[in-house]
Structure 1
Amino acid sequence: MDVAKLTEIGLSKREAQAYLALLQMEEAKAGEIAKLSHEDRTNIYDSLGSLVKKGLVSYVLRGSKTYYRAAPPSKLQDYLTEKEKILHEIMPGLDKVYKSYEPKPTIETYEGREGIKTVMSDILKEGKDFVGFGATDRMYYLFPEFTERYLHEREKRKIRARQFYAEGEKVLPSKYSEFKTIPREFSGPATTLIYGNKVAIFMWFIEPPVVVLIKNKEAAKAYRRQFEFMWRIVK
């Protein structure tokens, strides 16, 4: 059973270890859970208390002893649904604060898989057609499952894209994509995507990959003009 997967949905590592250990027993005392999860007793009490607050663990008192039970795994879905509900309630206020100031030109850097997901999700959220060029198949080779989900969601939202591919690159088919091919010597290990008033530069040659996101209307216009010039002359 994967502790890492549970940490991705919001549990701490110790909470995940305690919950998984308790799932293997009908009920157990703290010391038994600590032994199975390879945790000391002091920390296990903190983890169990936190899991009780989250509704993922319950307990019963028998005399002077406390026995713990794991909630059914379906309770994890209820936990996430409740978190999503809370987020939905506070989003209008957060957006109001975020949009209360005049946007200034900014350059942001995102790193690794999660950083790439953040920027690609921003493209979907923007919801507008975009253009791009350079190493357009790298994301698929590094993150095939995420790329397929992204393309599926893009098609659902009917977001169109025009992109240049270098000769020999894998073309990622999409109902709303248009491609032109350029010689490989004019491509490189980076991808540039222009969407809305933003320019995203994916640097695949760095480990882990890095995305530089430029938020500036004039910069986006300049990159887009360059793209449109190339699009006209490439057959």
Structure 2
Amino acid sequence: MIQQAFEQLGLTPRETQLYQTLLQLGHASIRDIAEKSGVNRGAAYESLKQLQAKGIVSYFPKGKRRFFSAESPDILLRLAEEKQQRLEKTIESLKTTIIPSLQQQQPNYSQTNVRYYEGDDGIEWVLRDILDVVSQQDHKEYCVFSSKPIRPYLYRPFPTYTKQRVKLGINVKVIAIGDGGEDAELSQRKWIKTEGAVDASYIAIYPPKCAIISLANDNFPSAVVLESKDISKAQQIIFDTLWKLL
């Protein structure tokens, strides 16, 4: 846990070891530090210079020699808070300026971005993408075409999906093809009656994206995600029209 915390602050295992050694010694020469820590003098000196640059270690001259001392452990919390503040500023810059600027640099030769995913990990990525995209929209709702055969495999990699969806305040409208399906909070469901079970794909419409999840041989799940305002708009019109008729 200690090493993980130091790594988050940008300290290497050697720097962590030297800092802890200095805490024990109080103040010491490079020879004493190297002897106590087991780090050779050359490597110890270079690491101490890095720690000094980070404000964690200081030194003072005593005759012709340098003596190093460790700053109070309270410095670690201050460094973490400063790092957090910088990260928050970076996130805000990414949202407001950097990402929009980079998106404008992308060539506009294709209006549709197509991505393929396979297996449980791929399906989980798609489900999390639905939550991420819809949760950022003013009208937190998406639409789904679903069928009974695919349902047991859909949420297998993400069993808490519905709970997370409800927690985020996301509504879903479902047109179920054939029987089955359970009522859930923030969910509306209508049915297209069929004779028996139908092996139909699961289609999620969450503009500007559409996800199509289906089962291959041995019930191996795969997904295609289309990112296109035009395609998602067309699918949304089809869904809304059918919803009113059911």
TM-score range, shorter chain: 0.5 to 0.7
Q: How many residues align?
A: 214
Unaligned runs of 5+ in 1: 36-40
Conserved 8 A contact 1:18-1:34: no
Alignment of 1:20-169 (within 5 A): 27=23, 49=50, 58-61=56-59, 64-68=66-70, 71-73=75-77, 75-94=79-98, 95-99=100-104, 104-109=111-116, 117-128=128-139, 129-134=141-146, 141-143=156-158, 148-153=163-168, 155=169, 159-164=170-175
Report the 3-state secondary structure (helix = DSSP H, G, I; strand = E; otherwise coil) of the residue aligned with 1:223: helix
Q: 1:152 to 1:25 in 2, by over 3 A?
A: farther
Q: 1:22 to 1:104 in 2, by over 3 A?
A: farther
- Partners of 1:11 and 1:213 in 2: CA distance: 37
Q: 1:98 to 1:231 in 2, by over 3 A?
A: same
Question: Of the candidates 212, 216, 229, which is equivalent to residue 228 of structure 2?
Answer: 216
Deviations 1:22-53 (A, max 9, x none): 89778265887788xxxxx959966993x776
Report the 3-state secondary structure (helix = DSSP H, G, I; strand = E; otherwise coil) of the residue aligned with 2:97: helix
Conserved 8 A contact 1:18-1:33: no
- Partners of 1:26 and 1:197 in 2: CA distance: 56
- Partners of 1:42 and 1:52 in 2: CA distance: 14
> RMSD value over aligned CA atoms?
5.1
Question: Could you say which residue in structure 1 is the equivalent of 2:188?
Answer: 178
Q: 1:196 to 1:30 in 2, by over 3 A?
A: farther
Deviations 1:152-181 (A, max 9, x none): 22x1xxx4320246866665x333x21346
- Partners of 2:45 and 2:153 in 1: CA distance: 43
Higher CA-based Rg: 2
Report the 3-state secondary structure (helix = DSSP H, G, I; strand = E; otherwise coil) of the residue aligned with 1:186: coil
Q: 1:89 to 1:197 in 2, by over 3 A?
A: closer
TM-score between the two structures when normalised by the length of structure 2: 0.55
Q: 1:197 to 1:4 in 2, by over 3 A?
A: same
Q: 1:44 to 1:26 in 2, by over 3 A?
A: closer
Conserved 8 A contact 1:30-1:67: no
Conserved 8 A contact 2:143-2:172: yes
Conserved 8 A contact 2:114-2:226: yes
Report the 3-state secondary structure (helix = DSSP H, G, I; strand = E; otherwise coil) of the residue aligned with 1:161: strand
Report the residue type matching 2:166 in the other structure.
L
TM-score between the two structures when normalised by the length of structure 1: 0.57
Question: Could you say which residue in structure 2 is the equivalent of 1:198?
Answer: 209
Report the 3-state secondary structure (helix = DSSP H, G, I; strand = E; otherwise coil) of the residue aligned with 1:87: helix
Which moved further from structure 2: 26-35 or 57-66? 26-35
Report the 3-state secondary structure (helix = DSSP H, G, I; strand = E; otherwise coil) of the residue aligned with 1:214: strand
